[in-house]
Amino acid sequence: MGGGGQLNDPVEPGSAKGTGVYTWEEVQRHCSKNDQWLVINRKVYNISQWARRHPGGFRVISHYSGEDATEAFTAFHPEQKFVQKFLKPLLVGELASTEPNQDQDKNATIVEDFENLRAQVEKEGLFQSKPLFFCLHLGHILLLEVLAWLMLSYWGTSWTMTLLCAVMLATAQSQAGWLQHDFGHLSVFKKSKWNHLVHKFVIGHLKGASANWWNHRHFQHHAKPNIFMKDPDIYMLDIFVLGNTQPVEYGIKKIKYMPYNHQHQYFFLVAPPLLIPVFYNFNIMKTMITHRDWVDLAWASTYYIRYFYCYTPFYGFLGSLALMMFVRFLESHWFVWVTQMNHLPMEIEYERRQDWLTTQLLSTCNIEQSFFNDWFSGHLNFQIEHHLFPRMPRHNYRLVAPRVKELCEKHGVPYGMKTLWRGMVDVVRSLKTSGDLWLDAYLHK
């Protein structure tokens, strides 16, 4: 699923490379750590060795071992003809003619209808971006950065000016977060390499983070959203229990790392204030250093050099560091509420191997469209459309949304829509529900 490489290991005893004919049952047996096959457009590929060289990270491609990956492959790869030449050496055969296109519980009719919709909107040009939109978005980020510095230069470092500066920098950081998300999903330029280059600039120089860290983490989330052991965004380090299944399991096993029946209360003290300034900052730096990702580390260093060069004359080194952490603190609140209101109240379960449309719709919901909501969330209020078409430029989500809703109604798939306030309230409500399930199981089962 991207990149290059070639396998030299044998395929099946007595069969030539790429000529095997297999059933779904045979493919599904190859889903262990060191033996992984998957299917794309009825072709069977052995990715056992290739997974480690996959540019998107070995986990995201390994999550599809033993199953059909056609829909995910189409969703993530804009230059499919280019990628195909790297898939060719991995080919071990194809599905038997008697086998269906889809495996497990994937609905063939939904798969076909969604593919028709995807082909239709691509033909209409909805995967083509408007450069002016992204230029203006970048421009308002840079303007906020410049104004924050000029404000201190002209009016001093009073508490009022410092607070206003922090709010402006936090706004710039949050909006840069949504912008790097666009480039990370290859939704701005036609050529992937240009998206990758600008992505490193935005997330590295403007935010001090790592493009590779983000890619390897975020694409797992898109491939298997809200699925335990596969979506890193719901790996909560045993601080929270989520959904309806995990709390009961923990309760039955008498697991009590935290008082989970109060998680809807301590959430306010843990997740919004600490995610970015503590967990993400530490995790990003650790990942870049341990993985020897010197390119991303160099990009991130330019952010810190620029920041301390600009603000040390006003506050000194320690004061500038305190300002940075406060900005991260504000940004973290913004980030957590926007990202969690679309996912946390939705279904959170173990792997069910469902079709792309059903998988994404059960784990995502939308927030009502408005100019403010679009800007505030980086258009992630259209979370459903973003998950279905991750490469689509965000300014086109509203155009495809009515057709997605129509398709969902046709197949009886729930299409969730909420107000911004309801989305935030439901985050807390879902945590309380899960906590109550844990307490009941802990005391009575």
Which tokens hold the place of 425? 């309230």
Let me know whether 51 and 155 are in one domain: no
Let me know whether 124 and 33 are in one domain: no
pLDDT at 341: 97
User: Taking a C-beta distance cutoff of 8 angstroms, is the pair 184, 215 a contact?
Assistant: yes
Whether residue 280 is contained in a domain is answered as yes
Let me know whether 174 and 70 are in one domain: no
Residue pointed to by tokens 């459309």: 385
Let me know whether 33 and 128 are in one domain: no
Let me know whether 220 and 265 are in one domain: yes
Let me know whether 361 and 428 are in one domain: yes
Whether residue 1 is contained in a domain is answered as no
Let me know whether 98 and 130 are in one domain: no
Whether residue 14 is contained in a domain is answered as no
Q: Kindly give, in sequence order, each residue whose CB lies less than 8 Å from that of residue 37, ignoring residues fewer than 6 positions away.
A: 27, 30, 31, 44, 45, 46, 47, 48, 65, 66, 92
Q: What is the DSSP string of 422-437?
A: HHHHHHHHHHHHHHHH
Residue pointed to by tokens 């009575």: 444
Whether residue 137 is contained in a domain is answered as yes
The last residue of a domain, from among 57, 81, 104: 104
Task: Provide Rg for the chain, Cα atoms.
Answer: 23
Let me know whether 69 and 168 are in one domain: no
pLDDT at 54: 87
Look up the domain containing 193 and give its range: 106-444
Q: What is the pLDDT of residues 323-377, one digit of tens each?
A: 999 999 999 999 999 999 999 999 999 998 899 999 999 999 999 999 999 999 9
Which portions of the chain are predicted below pLDDT 70? 1-18
The last residue of a domain, from among 70, 104, 138: 104
The last residue of a domain, from among 104, 133, 157: 104
pLDDT at 78: 87
Whether residue 91 is contained in a domain is answered as yes
Total structural domains within the chain: 2
Q: How far from 285 is each of 282, 330, 331, CA to CA, in Å?
A: 5, 20, 18
**27: CATH:** 3.10.120.10
Let me know whether 169 and 29 are in one domain: no
pLDDT at 3: 39
User: Taking a C-beta distance cutoff of 8 angstroms, is the pair 356, 71 a contact?
Assistant: yes
pLDDT at 5: 34
Question: How many of the other CB atoms lie within 10 Å of CB of 78?
Answer: 18
Let me know whether 291 and 314 are in one domain: yes
Let me know whether 99 and 118 are in one domain: no
Whether residue 392 is contained in a domain is answered as yes
Q: What is the pLDDT of residues 159-218, one digit of tens each?
A: 999 999 999 999 999 999 999 999 999 999 999 999 999 999 999 999 999 999 999 999
Whether residue 7 is contained in a domain is answered as no
Whether residue 352 is contained in a domain is answered as yes
pTM given for the model: 0.92
Strand partners, 38: 45
Let me know whether 325 and 218 are in one domain: yes
